[in-house]
Amino acid sequence: MGFHSSFSATSLQTLKLAAVPTTSHLIFRLPTKIASLNSLHPCFRNRKPPCSLLVRALSFSAVQVDPPTATAGEEIVGKPQWKASIDFKWIRDNKDLVAANIENRKSGANLELVLQLYDKMLNLQKEVERLRAERNMVANKMKGKLEPSERQKLIEEGKNLKEGLVSLEENLLKLTDQLQQEAQCIPNITHPDVPIGGEDCSIIRKTVGSPREFGFSVKDHLELGKQLNLFDFDAAAEVSGSKFYYLKNAAVTLEMGLISWTLSEVMKRGFTPVITPEIVRSSVVEKCGFQPRGENTQVYSIEGSDQCLIGTAEIPVGGIHMDSILAESSLPLKYVAYSHCFRTEAGAAGAATRGLYRVHQFSKVEMFILCRPEDSESYLEELISIEEDLFTSLGLHFKTLDMASGDLGAPAYRKFDVEAWMPGLGRYGEISSASNCTDYQSRRLGIRYRPQEPIPTTSKKKSKGNLAPTQFIHTLNATACAVPRMIVCLLENYQQEDGSVIIPEPLRPFMGGLEIIAPTST
């Protein structure tokens, strides 16, 4: 399933649906190897190893491999364009913990292969260093006075060493690339309180309100939308393909009102508003934990380029501070971003796909926080609190769930979903999600901060050596408003017997004072 239409124009590139195995947060697999964990590849789904140790597994400074830089030129198929700072030594030393984590996540990461490649890389690196040392010794000998025959012998020896070294360095480069590709399938650690199992093992943390009792036959949002002339799926299917839609009349005002109201409310809590690019480089998508290539991917890639359409503003916002060192005094950085989002929804089927509930393009307001590691759990609570306040103020009945390990995306250390009651659909539907990704994304995006406390020194002279070492920041994300599903909730929960829909009071000032959406005569 997915969007199969194609189009061409002199200045437009063809959108191509790339297929990739679906996964959670930490994992993502590129065509052959690389993967940004959970949201993309089955490698990262269930797990719950001892938290403190596992956090260290993917949080401590990575063992640095320093192979020779590849020659610039044509892209090598399957070669990663970036390298995550992964602590291979920690993974090797804590093999059992990592294996348990992979099993709980149902991620499919090949730990044994990673460890084999790591050992091979270390051995090859030692051999490279040995040959380099021998070559240096030969070079030093040639600096002195030598007989012509002896000099010629050293020249030949140096030549042979150089040729052997070039071959070994090439092999080392390929091996370290392969190690990176496989290791990136290893998912983030899991919070110790996360329930182990599939989605049905998730635990209800909080329930707000109760289902509204109707004294008349309830309609779903599709029927209400048709009667109120709010959307057109048929025309959109002809123009764009299935699962696209036109919003019309009061539905346009409702979307704009939801966005403006949500931005206003979240900004009051100290978040900086951002409107993001909606096309990003594939590597940024991967670094954030999403899979842009392969079967069942949720990502639309742009054919003939290294770019993708975003599935969430989390991706471009995460890239704002890529490859940078932040001052501790600047943390936390809180963003609230508005964007359109594009998802293939590959593999989706059933009643959950009807109408606006599951579509290929939609508007969303996303919250994103960058903070110190010791603060991320408290900021996750803050994000959940903001979500619950927003939905409560709209009068929705919902429940907040602590999601089980099998439902976590590759980057997620812990995730809470909000599911609201949708009377027309006769079930709860997910309207929001909040995740703490710890340093999974920052290790891939290269985002660090430098603590203010300098290293103690007896010298009064300030120097670079006195600075505290940098640390990877933690990232968190949460949905403030996924517009189509909010429209579903509002239409179905606020419908009246005559077919009209009441607008919740908080939204009215952002909709020109509109209080009710009523049927209009044709």
pLDDT band at 21 (very low <50, low <70, confident <90, very high): very low
112 and 240 assigned to the same domain: no
142 and 217 assigned to the same domain: no
Domain-terminating residue out of 128, 153, 184: 184
Whether 428 is in a domain gets the answer yes
Tell me whether residue 176 is annotated as binding.
no
282 and 180 assigned to the same domain: no
328 and 246 assigned to the same domain: yes
> What angle in degrees, to the nearest 10, is found between the helix axes of 483-493 and 250-267?
110
369 and 446 assigned to the same domain: yes
Domain-terminating residue out of 132, 157, 184: 184
Whether 51 is in a domain gets the answer no
152 and 273 assigned to the same domain: no
Which has more pLDDT, 42 or 384? 384
Tell me whether residue 361 is annotated as binding.
yes
Whether 31 is in a domain gets the answer no
Tell me whether residue 431 is annotated as binding.
yes
Whether 43 is in a domain gets the answer no
171 and 206 assigned to the same domain: no
Tell me whether residue 303 is annotated as binding.
no
Tell me whether residue 343 is annotated as binding.
yes
CB atoms within 10 A of CB 350: 7
Instruction: Name the CA dihedral angle for 221, 224, 225, 227, rounded to a multiple of 10 degrees.
Output: 160
Domain-terminating residue out of 159, 184, 209: 184
Tell me whether residue 4 is annotated as binding.
no
pLDDT for 86-141, tens place per residue?
889 989 999 998 899 889 988 888 999 999 999 999 999 998 888 888 877 777 77
210 and 332 assigned to the same domain: yes
Query: What is the total count of domains within the chain?
Result: 2
Q: Which domain does 147 fall in, by range?
A: 88-184
pLDDT for 227-273, tens place per residue?
999 999 999 999 999 999 999 999 999 999 999 999 999 999 999 99
Residue burial 190-226, b: 16+ Cβ < 10 Å; e: rest: bbeebbebeeebbeeeeeeeeeeeeeeeebbbbbbbe
Tell me whether residue 477 is annotated as binding.
yes
256 and 394 assigned to the same domain: yes
Tell me whether residue 378 is annotated as binding.
no
230 and 347 assigned to the same domain: yes
Whether 10 is in a domain gets the answer no
**CATH number of the domain where residue 206 is located:** 3.30.930.10
Instruction: Note the pTM of the prediction, 2 decimals.
Output: 0.80
Cα 447 from Cα 437, distance rounded (Å): 13
Tell me whether residue 344 is annotated as binding.
yes
179 and 221 assigned to the same domain: no
340 and 257 assigned to the same domain: yes
